[in-house]
Structure 1
Amino acid sequence: MTEQHGDGSGDRYLAREGARIAYEVTGERAGPPVGYAHGVMLSRAAVRRLDLLDLDAMAGGRRLLTYDARGHGRSTGRPVAEDYRFGTYARDLLALLDAVGFDEPMDFTGSSLGADTALRAALLAPGRFRRLVLMIPPVAWETGEGPHARDWYTAAADTIEAHGAERWREGWAKEADTELMPLFDGYPQFDMTPDVSDELLPYALRGVGASDLPSPEEIATVRHPTLVLAWDADPLHPVSTAERLHALLPESELHVSGSVEDVQGWTRRIAEFLER
């Protein structure tokens, strides 16, 4: 069921099990539609605030689907960790595509969590996609007893539940740009303030922490032309994941950035890739 939102934002809402997904379709130019999915703890507004990726320029005037993942931004969710596993987000996306009625294969870009959403949705419904862009794919396929990089998500959820979200948010603001993503240390627009309510934040983190990318064997079956983009020195989005995806995906290209200026060029790279 889709509802029109009445506050002037242009959003519509899709009712899903345990959530209402806020989304918007803009642009009118003919051609394959374009979609974008953000990363965990962020939202459409948060991505625009970072001023690293210009979603409208990426789409080049074609119809553009943007949305807030369940529990993020304008979308709602419930305090159930299982709701925030990677597979749920992919199923939400496919339901959105049914709601908007795109009747031709689309180009889709996803960042971090959104990269998994793009991959997993393409595996579930390959005919709905034309080209994929996987930005900063998350750490994946960790084996052994650990410690594992993705343990960070569970540890963060533990801290929030033990000491409160406000205290954790204060520490996260410093950790994000000095430890986890040093590439952006000193970048004035770098703002990773979570756009998730205090109530839902630990559940969203636990769901992602308990998730993994599809298996290498599954990924190797994806035949869509794919652009993989990574940035350096981020343990939660390591270059090694991007390199492995590039090796697995038979029709892929890889670009790794070592500076903020190069990351800001991703909009142009994506737009050119999607215009082919």
Structure 2
Amino acid sequence: MSQPFDINNINYSQTGNGPAMIWSHGLLACMQSEDALGIFAWHRFPKSMSLLRFDAKGHGLTTASPSKLDYLWPNLAEELHHLQQHCFNEDKVVLGGQSMGAASSLYAALAYPESIKGLVIMNPPVAWQLRASKQDYYRKVAKAAKLLGGKGLAKINAKHIDRMLPSWLLQAHMHSVLGMLDGLKNMKRQTLEQLFLAASENDLPDREKLNSINVPCLILAWDDDEAHPLSVAKTLAKALPQAKLHVANNMADLDEWPHLISSFCQTVHNFE
């Protein structure tokens, strides 16, 4: 990492009291945009557990870095671990995250297995051979981001929101889906350029390494999403020794996700 860890540079929120889950959002998102989208329902997370959410480096109200190195997933995992140590000392936690947050959680579990009690992997990002085919795309987006900035990218994404979410989710949450772009609008040109340059180099760990993450893992995925292919979720479910995969095919399935996450965390923390 090019920047040393400083808790004062991180915007985070901690609720509840008890065994903990740390949640990491996806690329270009933040706590505000998650809440605007409305599908996470963090207000329903048990108050008997501690929930720590935060804006990742360069996102939301957390300080940005001028270096793409700080946006590589293993380095985001390092920052995640430092945050865990600051807030929970030596306690084991459940790590959870969506897309980029899922990736950094997996890397943290590999680097610090003694600190992890379980994993919640939501919509894992495009990976391996599929990701290699998108390297040029991410570099092109980096150039566009340098020219357009957050507001410009948000306008473009708003016109193509149907490429970012399943059609059944768009139909059910049309009033709020544009809220997922709230975190993008205020992002600076340089930050976005470095984020997408890092995206061109990022990838999930080798499947052989994933075999060593021997903790309970809940994988949540949906289909019809190019950035989060169901095939990647299925591969993770096979590679992670204690993984269970739940696929949402409609809003009724998706509405179960907050309950599945809460129940998983409670079960993992109660198991000795």
TM-score normalised by L of structure 2: 0.87
Matched position secondary structure for 2:128 = coil
Q: Residue 23 in 1 paired to residue 21 in 2?
A: no
Give distance in 1, aligned partners of 2:237 and 2:192. 32
Shift of 1:224: 0.6
Aligned to 2:263: 272
Per mean C-alpha deviation after superposition, the further-off stretch among 149-158 and 100-109 is: 149-158
Aligned to 2:188: 198
Deviations along 1:211-258, one digit per CA (max 9) or x if unpaired, are: 001111110110010011111111110000000000001111001112
The one-letter code sitting in structure 2 at the alignment partner of 1:167 is G
CA contact (8 A) 1:15 1:21 kept: no
Matched position secondary structure for 1:142 = helix
Shift of 1:180: 3.0
CA contact (8 A) 2:29 2:60 kept: yes
Give distance in 2, aligned partners of 1:143 and 1:48. 30
Give distance in 2, aligned partners of 1:211 and 1:181. 22
Q: Residue 171 in 1 paired to residue 159 in 2?
A: no
Shift of 1:59: 4.4
CA contact (8 A) 1:24 1:66 kept: yes
Deviations along 1:151-203, one digit per CA (max 9) or x if unpaired, are: 4433222222345544332111122x212324333322112215241231221
Aligned to 1:66: 53
> How do 1:77-88 and structure 2 match up within 5 A?
77-88=64-75
Deviations along 1:12-55, one digit per CA (max 9) or x if unpaired, are: xx9627x9222232212x3x211110001001111111110122
Aligned to 2:244: 253
For residue 199 of structure 2, the aligned residue among 208, 211, 214 is: 208
Give distance in 2, aligned partners of 1:149 and 1:45. 28
> How do 1:1-276 and structure 2 match up within 5 A?
16=5, 20-28=9-17, 30=18, 32-142=19-129, 148-149=133-134, 151-175=136-160, 177-183=161-167, 184-186=169-171, 187=173, 188-191=175-178, 192-193=180-181, 195-196=183-184, 197-199=187-189, 200-276=191-267
Shift of 1:210: 1.6
Matched position secondary structure for 1:208 = helix
Gaps of 5+ in 1: 1-13
Paired positions, count:
258
Matched position secondary structure for 1:108 = strand
Matched position secondary structure for 1:275 = helix
Q: Percent identity?
A: 28
The one-letter code sitting in structure 2 at the alignment partner of 1:34 is M
Deviations along 1:53-78, one digit per CA (max 9) or x if unpaired, are: 12242344311111110000110112
Aligned to 1:11: none
The one-letter code sitting in structure 2 at the alignment partner of 1:264 is D
CA contact (8 A) 1:132 1:226 kept: yes
CA contact (8 A) 2:30 2:183 kept: yes
Measured at CA, do residues 23 and 256 of structure 1 come closer, stay the same or move farther in structure 2, by a change above 3 Å?
same
CA contact (8 A) 1:22 1:67 kept: yes
Measured at CA, do residues 96 and 198 of structure 1 come closer, stay the same or move farther in structure 2, by a change above 3 Å?
same
Give distance in 2, aligned partners of 1:260 and 1:36. 22
Once superposed, what is the RMSD of the aligned Cα atoms? 2.3
Q: Report the structure, 1 or 2, having the larger helix content.
A: 2
Give distance in 1, aligned partners of 2:226 and 2:11. 30
CA contact (8 A) 1:60 1:271 kept: no
CA contact (8 A) 2:134 2:200 kept: no
Per mean C-alpha deviation after superposition, the further-off stretch among 95-104 and 250-259 is: 95-104
